[in-house]
Structure 1
Protein backbone atom coordinates (compact mmCIF):
# COMPACT_ATOMS: atom_id res chain seq x y z
CA UNK A 1 0.00 0.00 0.00
CA UNK A 2 3.00 2.31 0.45
CA UNK A 3 3.64 2.35 -3.30
CA UNK A 4 -0.01 3.18 -3.93
CA UNK A 5 0.16 6.06 -1.47
CA UNK A 6 3.40 7.35 -3.01
CA UNK A 7 1.89 7.18 -6.52
CA UNK A 8 -1.22 8.96 -5.28
CA UNK A 9 0.75 11.73 -3.60
CA UNK A 10 3.09 12.17 -6.56
CA UNK A 11 0.27 12.31 -9.09
CA UNK A 12 -1.76 14.77 -7.01
CA UNK A 13 1.22 17.07 -6.43
CA UNK A 14 2.22 16.87 -10.10
CA UNK A 15 -1.30 17.67 -11.30
CA UNK A 16 -1.64 20.49 -8.78
CA UNK A 17 1.54 22.13 -10.04
CA UNK A 18 0.51 21.60 -13.63
CA UNK A 19 -2.99 23.03 -13.18
CA UNK A 20 -1.60 26.16 -11.51
CA UNK A 21 0.75 26.62 -14.47
CA UNK A 22 -2.12 26.11 -16.89
CA UNK A 23 -4.37 28.50 -14.95
CA UNK A 24 -1.85 31.31 -14.55
CA UNK A 25 0.24 31.03 -17.74
CA UNK A 26 -1.14 28.65 -20.33
CA UNK A 27 -4.88 29.39 -20.58
CA UNK A 28 -4.50 33.19 -20.40
CA UNK A 29 -2.01 32.90 -23.30
CA UNK A 30 -4.84 31.52 -25.46
CA UNK A 31 -5.95 35.14 -25.94
CA UNK A 32 -2.64 36.12 -27.53
CA UNK A 33 -2.46 33.78 -30.51
CA UNK A 34 -3.17 34.94 -34.04
CA UNK A 35 -6.78 34.24 -34.83
CA UNK A 36 -5.99 32.69 -38.23
CA UNK A 37 -3.68 30.04 -36.71
CA UNK A 38 -5.73 29.46 -33.56
CA UNK A 39 -7.26 26.15 -34.71
CA UNK A 40 -3.78 24.79 -35.47
CA UNK A 41 -2.56 25.87 -32.04
CA UNK A 42 -5.56 24.24 -30.29
CA UNK A 43 -5.00 20.99 -32.16
CA UNK A 44 -1.36 21.02 -31.09
CA UNK A 45 -2.31 21.89 -27.50
CA UNK A 46 -4.90 19.12 -27.20
CA UNK A 47 -2.60 16.42 -28.55
CA UNK A 48 0.40 17.43 -26.42
CA UNK A 49 -1.34 18.22 -23.14
CA UNK A 50 -3.13 14.87 -23.26
CA UNK A 51 0.20 13.03 -23.38
CA UNK A 52 1.19 14.73 -20.14
CA UNK A 53 -2.11 14.85 -18.27
CA UNK A 54 -4.06 11.67 -19.07
CA UNK A 55 -1.56 9.07 -17.75
CA UNK A 56 -1.06 10.99 -14.50
CA UNK A 57 -4.81 11.51 -14.04
CA UNK A 58 -5.30 7.75 -14.52
CA UNK A 59 -2.62 7.02 -11.90
CA UNK A 60 -4.27 9.45 -9.49
CA UNK A 61 -7.72 7.96 -10.07
CA UNK A 62 -6.54 4.35 -9.82
CA UNK A 63 -4.47 4.92 -6.70
CA UNK A 64 -7.30 6.92 -5.10
CA UNK A 65 -9.70 4.03 -5.72
CA UNK A 66 -7.25 1.51 -4.24
CA UNK A 67 -6.63 3.68 -1.18
CA UNK A 68 -10.35 4.23 -0.60
CA UNK A 69 -10.95 0.46 -0.71
CA UNK A 70 -8.08 -0.38 1.64
CA UNK A 71 -7.96 -0.78 5.40
CA UNK A 72 -5.13 1.67 5.96
CA UNK A 73 -5.32 4.51 8.51
CA UNK A 74 -7.33 7.62 7.67
CA UNK A 75 -9.63 5.71 5.33
CA UNK A 76 -12.28 8.45 5.41
CA UNK A 77 -9.72 11.03 4.23
CA UNK A 78 -8.74 8.74 1.35
CA UNK A 79 -12.41 8.48 0.41
CA UNK A 80 -12.74 12.26 0.51
CA UNK A 81 -9.66 12.40 -1.74
CA UNK A 82 -11.34 10.03 -4.18
CA UNK A 83 -14.42 12.25 -4.16
CA UNK A 84 -12.24 15.24 -5.04
CA UNK A 85 -10.64 13.29 -7.90
CA UNK A 86 -14.05 12.25 -9.23
CA UNK A 87 -15.17 15.89 -9.19
CA UNK A 88 -12.05 16.88 -11.15
CA UNK A 89 -12.81 14.20 -13.74
CA UNK A 90 -16.44 15.34 -14.06
CA UNK A 91 -15.42 18.98 -14.53
CA UNK A 92 -12.70 17.95 -16.97
CA UNK A 93 -14.87 15.83 -19.24
CA UNK A 94 -18.20 17.67 -18.98
CA UNK A 95 -16.95 21.28 -18.94
CA UNK A 96 -13.30 21.68 -19.95
CA UNK A 97 -13.16 19.18 -22.83
CA UNK A 98 -16.30 20.59 -24.52
CA UNK A 99 -14.88 24.12 -24.21
CA UNK A 100 -11.63 22.94 -25.81
CA UNK A 101 -13.65 21.36 -28.61
CA UNK A 102 -15.45 24.65 -29.24
CA UNK A 103 -12.14 26.50 -29.35
CA UNK A 104 -10.75 23.94 -31.81
CA UNK A 105 -13.06 25.48 -34.40
CA UNK A 106 -11.48 28.88 -33.92
CA UNK A 107 -10.94 31.54 -31.30
CA UNK A 108 -13.98 32.85 -29.48
CA UNK A 109 -13.16 35.25 -26.66
CA UNK A 110 -16.21 34.32 -24.58
CA UNK A 111 -15.33 30.60 -24.76
CA UNK A 112 -11.67 31.24 -23.91
CA UNK A 113 -12.72 33.31 -20.89
CA UNK A 114 -15.14 30.60 -19.80
CA UNK A 115 -12.32 28.05 -20.08
CA UNK A 116 -10.16 30.08 -17.68
CA UNK A 117 -12.95 30.80 -15.22
CA UNK A 118 -14.29 27.24 -15.09
CA UNK A 119 -10.77 25.89 -14.70
CA UNK A 120 -10.60 27.62 -11.32
CA UNK A 121 -12.65 24.76 -9.90
CA UNK A 122 -10.09 22.19 -11.00
CA UNK A 123 -7.31 24.39 -9.66
CA UNK A 124 -9.09 24.62 -6.31
CA UNK A 125 -9.86 20.89 -6.19
CA UNK A 126 -6.34 19.75 -7.08
CA UNK A 127 -4.98 22.20 -4.51
CA UNK A 128 -7.35 20.73 -1.92
CA UNK A 129 -6.30 17.19 -2.90
CA UNK A 130 -2.64 18.14 -2.49
CA UNK A 131 -3.26 19.75 0.91
CA UNK A 132 -5.14 16.63 1.96
CA UNK A 133 -2.23 14.53 0.69
CA UNK A 134 0.27 16.59 2.67
CA UNK A 135 -1.85 16.22 5.80
CA UNK A 136 -2.04 12.45 5.33
CA UNK A 137 1.69 12.22 4.70
CA UNK A 138 2.50 14.23 7.83
CA UNK A 139 0.12 12.10 9.94
CA UNK A 140 1.51 8.85 8.61
CA UNK A 141 5.12 9.84 9.30
CA UNK A 142 4.24 11.18 12.73
CA UNK A 143 4.46 14.94 12.24
Structure 2
Protein backbone atom coordinates (compact mmCIF):
# COMPACT_ATOMS: atom_id res chain seq x y z
CA UNK A 1 0.00 0.00 0.00
CA UNK A 2 2.81 2.41 0.86
CA UNK A 3 4.53 1.79 -2.48
CA UNK A 4 1.42 2.82 -4.38
CA UNK A 5 0.75 5.73 -2.05
CA UNK A 6 4.25 7.18 -2.35
CA UNK A 7 4.05 7.12 -6.16
CA UNK A 8 0.71 8.96 -6.07
CA UNK A 9 2.19 11.54 -3.70
CA UNK A 10 5.37 11.92 -5.80
CA UNK A 11 3.72 12.16 -9.22
CA UNK A 12 0.39 13.79 -8.39
CA UNK A 13 0.10 15.33 -4.93
CA UNK A 14 3.38 17.19 -4.44
CA UNK A 15 3.47 18.71 -7.95
CA UNK A 16 -0.09 19.98 -7.38
CA UNK A 17 1.23 22.08 -4.49
CA UNK A 18 2.71 24.39 -7.13
CA UNK A 19 -0.73 24.91 -8.68
CA UNK A 20 -2.40 26.16 -5.50
CA UNK A 21 -2.79 29.93 -5.21
CA UNK A 22 -0.47 31.44 -2.60
CA UNK A 23 -3.46 32.90 -0.75
CA UNK A 24 -5.00 29.42 -0.39
CA UNK A 25 -1.83 27.40 0.14
CA UNK A 26 -1.60 27.52 3.93
CA UNK A 27 -5.09 26.05 4.43
CA UNK A 28 -4.59 23.58 1.57
CA UNK A 29 -1.28 22.33 2.95
CA UNK A 30 -2.56 22.02 6.52
CA UNK A 31 -5.53 19.98 5.29
CA UNK A 32 -3.19 17.80 3.21
CA UNK A 33 -0.90 17.13 6.20
CA UNK A 34 -3.80 16.24 8.48
CA UNK A 35 -5.54 13.97 5.98
CA UNK A 36 -2.44 12.21 4.69
CA UNK A 37 -1.34 11.47 8.25
CA UNK A 38 -4.63 9.62 8.83
CA UNK A 39 -3.62 7.25 6.03
CA UNK A 40 0.16 7.12 6.43
CA UNK A 41 0.36 6.90 10.22
CA UNK A 42 -1.36 3.54 10.62
CA UNK A 43 0.41 2.13 7.55
CA UNK A 44 3.83 3.13 8.90
CA UNK A 45 3.00 1.47 12.21
CA UNK A 46 1.89 -1.71 10.44
CA UNK A 47 4.97 -1.72 8.22
CA UNK A 48 7.44 -1.31 11.08
CA UNK A 49 5.67 -3.67 13.47
CA UNK A 50 5.19 -6.40 10.86
CA UNK A 51 8.86 -6.18 9.82
CA UNK A 52 9.96 -6.40 13.47
CA UNK A 53 7.60 -9.32 14.09
CA UNK A 54 8.84 -11.24 11.04
CA UNK A 55 12.46 -10.73 12.08
CA UNK A 56 11.58 -11.89 15.59
CA UNK A 57 9.88 -14.97 14.13
CA UNK A 58 13.04 -15.87 12.18
CA UNK A 59 12.61 -14.21 8.80
CA UNK A 60 16.25 -13.25 8.34
CA UNK A 61 17.00 -13.70 4.67
CA UNK A 62 19.24 -11.07 3.10
CA UNK A 63 16.50 -9.59 0.89
CA UNK A 64 14.12 -9.30 3.83
CA UNK A 65 16.71 -7.81 6.20
CA UNK A 66 17.75 -5.31 3.51
CA UNK A 67 14.10 -4.39 2.98
CA UNK A 68 13.69 -3.86 6.72
CA UNK A 69 16.77 -1.62 6.67
CA UNK A 70 15.07 0.50 4.04
CA UNK A 71 12.41 1.34 6.63
CA UNK A 72 15.18 3.17 8.48
CA UNK A 73 16.19 5.03 5.32
CA UNK A 74 12.58 6.08 4.76
CA UNK A 75 12.09 7.23 8.35
CA UNK A 76 15.41 9.13 8.37
CA UNK A 77 14.54 10.85 5.10
CA UNK A 78 11.16 11.76 6.53
CA UNK A 79 12.65 13.10 9.77
CA UNK A 80 15.59 14.97 8.24
CA UNK A 81 14.18 16.22 4.92
CA UNK A 82 10.41 15.93 4.53
CA UNK A 83 9.01 16.77 7.98
CA UNK A 84 11.06 19.97 8.44
CA UNK A 85 10.11 21.13 4.94
CA UNK A 86 6.42 20.48 5.57
CA UNK A 87 6.67 22.33 8.87
CA UNK A 88 8.07 25.35 7.02
CA UNK A 89 5.36 25.06 4.35
CA UNK A 90 2.73 25.37 7.10
CA UNK A 91 3.58 29.10 7.08
CA UNK A 92 2.70 29.47 3.41
CA UNK A 93 3.72 28.76 -0.15
CA UNK A 94 7.42 28.69 -0.95
CA UNK A 95 7.82 27.35 -4.49
CA UNK A 96 11.53 26.62 -4.05
CA UNK A 97 10.77 24.63 -0.92
CA UNK A 98 8.00 22.69 -2.70
CA UNK A 99 10.49 21.81 -5.45
CA UNK A 100 12.91 20.69 -2.70
CA UNK A 101 10.17 18.45 -1.25
CA UNK A 102 9.51 16.94 -4.69
CA UNK A 103 13.21 16.39 -5.38
CA UNK A 104 14.11 14.90 -1.98
CA UNK A 105 10.98 12.75 -1.85
CA UNK A 106 12.56 10.60 -4.56
CA UNK A 107 14.64 9.06 -1.74
CA UNK A 108 11.49 7.72 -0.09
CA UNK A 109 9.84 6.84 -3.40
CA UNK A 110 12.78 4.71 -4.55
CA UNK A 111 13.37 3.21 -1.10
CA UNK A 112 9.72 2.14 -0.75
CA UNK A 113 9.71 0.78 -4.29
CA UNK A 114 12.85 -1.25 -3.61
CA UNK A 115 11.38 -2.40 -0.30
CA UNK A 116 8.19 -3.53 -2.02
CA UNK A 117 10.16 -5.52 -4.58
CA UNK A 118 12.43 -7.07 -1.95
CA UNK A 119 9.53 -8.04 0.29
CA UNK A 120 7.70 -9.63 -2.64
CA UNK A 121 10.79 -11.76 -3.32
CA UNK A 122 11.53 -12.51 0.34
CA UNK A 123 7.98 -13.46 1.35
CA UNK A 124 6.74 -16.01 -1.19
- Please indicate, yes or no, whether the TM-score normalized by the shorter chain is above 0.5: yes
* SS of residue in 1 equivalent to 2:58: coil
Q: Which has the higher contact order (CA 8 A, sep 6+)?
A: 2
| Aligned-pair Cα RMSD in Å | 1.2
Residue aligning to 2:46: 59
* C-alpha deviation, 1:134, in angstroms: 1.6
Distance in 2, matches of 1:129 and 1:107, equals 32
TM-score (norm 2): 0.94
Contact 1:15 1:126 (C-alpha < 8 Å) held by counterparts? yes
Q: 1:76 to 1:69 in 2, by over 3 A?
A: farther
Deviations 1:93-122 (A, max 9, x none): 221011111111011111000000000010
Residue aligning to 2:108: 122
Residue aligning to 2:6: 19
* SS of residue in 2 equivalent to 1:32: coil
Alignment of 1:1-143 (within 5 A): 14-72=1-59, 74-137=60-123, 140=124
TM-score (norm 1): 0.82
Aligned length: 124
Gapped regions of structure 2 (runs ≥ 5): none
Mark the structure with the bigger radius of gyration: 1
Gapped regions of structure 1 (runs ≥ 5): 1-13
